[in-house]
Homo-oligomer: A and B are copies of this chain.
Amino acid sequence: MDIRKVAAKARVSTATVSRTINRSDAVTPATAAKVWSAIRELNYHPNTHARTLSSGKSHILGLIISDITNPFFPDLVKAFESIAIERHYETIVTNTEYNPERMALCVHRLLDRRVDGIAIMTSEMEPGLVDEVQRAGVPIVTLDTGRPAKRFSNIKVDYSGGIRQAIQHLVGLHHDRLAFIRGPQRLKSAQVRYNAYARVAKENHLTTSGGLIADGEHSIEGGFTAMLNLLPQKPTAVLASNDLSAIGALQALHHKKLNVPGDISIVGFDDITFSRHTQPELTTVRIPRTEVARLAFEALMSTPASENGKEWNVSTELVIRMSTGQCPRTRS
């Protein structure tokens, strides 16, 4: 079942069949109709590999993430795939498992498959790999990594703005001892969040003594421990670098029979699905992942083979739920 059979049945050349499949407008509606009906009758499906081979475009996109098991990613992946499907692209998703070697492997596999673009959503990236992709002539888009260059775009999330939204919310509730649970400082996105906390806290004349900073490793367990370490410093509110560690903090407080937000307020970052279901529901800074996915796709599509990419900005949104309230000391 190949294009020749269709051509024969429709009594045209294979070129014409190819043209009508590709919706070239250089085909008379009449002949196109003949071809389509032949296609239907024979239940013909073009061979994508043959297509790729001769056209040079695979219509496959690569999406690299850290770990599909991390609740940050599923929404992103889902959104990216939906958009891709809509635009008739297939997507291959690969996990780096936070491992640089594995990241290199992912990139190479995608390059071998001759993908038409690679979206790297891991907030870490070896510059060497970007080069390689660029040399391969494949558009690439990353999350918070580097500046636009040849075929290279970047999506920039306004983490600082998000932290500022959170702190202002807390300050508005009269909190004055604001602790921070950091993420792994080797992650650029975690660094940025921490720096923003330090800066904005200072702007608001809040103490940021060492005791108010703890490391939460961006995990529930880490957040739990971090919160326990923070407790002796009597913070009135705690800002976590991501939702997972905020959830850990929530559990630690529950464990210590402290009330949230009665005794302490908690704010997360990311707005993973589960944040809506914690006890109490978590106030958090949302990263609009659907939007990120959309921009990533757009960036890949809009980067003509030889042009420079651009920088795409996305801003965060404070989602106020039940884990934040008036500072206990200032309540009537």
Residues of B within 8 A of A109 (CB): 85, 90
Quick check: B53 and A50 within 8 Å, CB to CB? Answer: yes
**Which residues between 56 and 107 of chain A lie within 8 Å of chain B, taking CB atoms?**
58, 67-69, 74-75, 77-78, 81, 85, 90-95, 105
Residues of B within 8 A of A105 (CB): 85
Is residue A112 contacting chain B, with contact meaning CB distance below 8 A? yes
Quick check: B95 and A81 within 8 Å, CB to CB? Answer: yes
Closest to A91 in B: B92
Is residue A39 contacting chain B, with contact meaning CB distance below 8 A? no
Interface string of A9-26 (1 = CB under 8 A from B): 000000000000000000
Quick check: B279 and A251 within 8 Å, CB to CB? Answer: yes
Interface string of A276-318 (1 = CB under 8 A from B): 0101000000000000000000000000000000000000000
Is residue A151 contacting chain B, with contact meaning CB distance below 8 A? no
Quick check: B58 and A69 within 8 Å, CB to CB? Answer: no
Which of B45, B74, B279 meets A68, CB within 8 Å? B74
Which of B49, B67, B81 meets A114, CB within 8 Å? B49
Residues of B within 8 A of A49 (CB): 49-50, 52-53, 58, 113-114
Closest to A136 in B: B45
Is residue A332 contacting chain B, with contact meaning CB distance below 8 A? no
Quick check: A92 and B95 within 8 Å, CB to CB? Answer: no
Interface string of A35-56 (1 = CB under 8 A from B): 0000000000111111011000
Residues of B within 8 A of A254 (CB): 279
- How far apart are the CA atoms of A44 and B67 in the complex, in Å? 29
- How far apart are the CA atoms of A187 and B55 in the complex, in Å? 43
Is residue A111 contacting chain B, with contact meaning CB distance below 8 A? yes
- How far apart are the CA atoms of A150 and B55 in the complex, in Å? 36
Known A-B contacts A58-B49, A68-B78, A279-B251; the reply to A93 vs B90 at CB < 8 A is no
Quick check: A90 and B113 within 8 Å, CB to CB? Answer: yes
Residues of B within 8 A of A274 (CB): 274
Is residue A32 contacting chain B, with contact meaning CB distance below 8 A? no
Quick check: B48 and A220 within 8 Å, CB to CB? Answer: no
Is residue A204 contacting chain B, with contact meaning CB distance below 8 A? no
- How far apart are the CA atoms of A254 and B277 in the complex, in Å? 12
Quick check: A48 and B95 within 8 Å, CB to CB? Answer: no
Quick check: B90 and A45 within 8 Å, CB to CB? Answer: no
Is residue A273 contacting chain B, with contact meaning CB distance below 8 A? yes
- How far apart are the CA atoms of A75 and B69 in the complex, in Å? 6
Is residue A247 contacting chain B, with contact meaning CB distance below 8 A? yes
Quick check: A68 and B77 within 8 Å, CB to CB? Answer: yes
Closest to A250 in B: B279
Q: Nearest chain B CB to A24's CB is how many angstroms away?
A: 20
Taking beta carbons and an 8 Å cutoff, which residues of A are in contact with B? 45-50, 52-53, 58, 67-69, 74-75, 77-78, 81, 85, 90-95, 105, 108-109, 111-114, 220, 247, 251, 254, 273-274, 277, 279
Taking A49-B114, A68-B77 as known contacts, 7 extra A-B pairs with beta carbons closer than 8 A to each other, sorted by chain A number, are A49-B113, A67-B78, A69-B75, A69-B273, A85-B105, A90-B109, A254-B279
Q: Please name 26 pairs of A and B residues whose Cβ atoms are closer than 8 Å in the assembled complex, sorted by A.
A: A45-B108, A45-B112, A47-B114, A48-B112, A49-B50, A49-B58, A49-B113, A49-B114, A50-B53, A53-B53, A69-B74, A69-B75, A69-B78, A69-B273, A78-B95, A81-B94, A81-B95, A85-B109, A90-B92, A90-B113, A93-B93, A220-B277, A251-B277, A251-B279, A254-B279, A279-B279
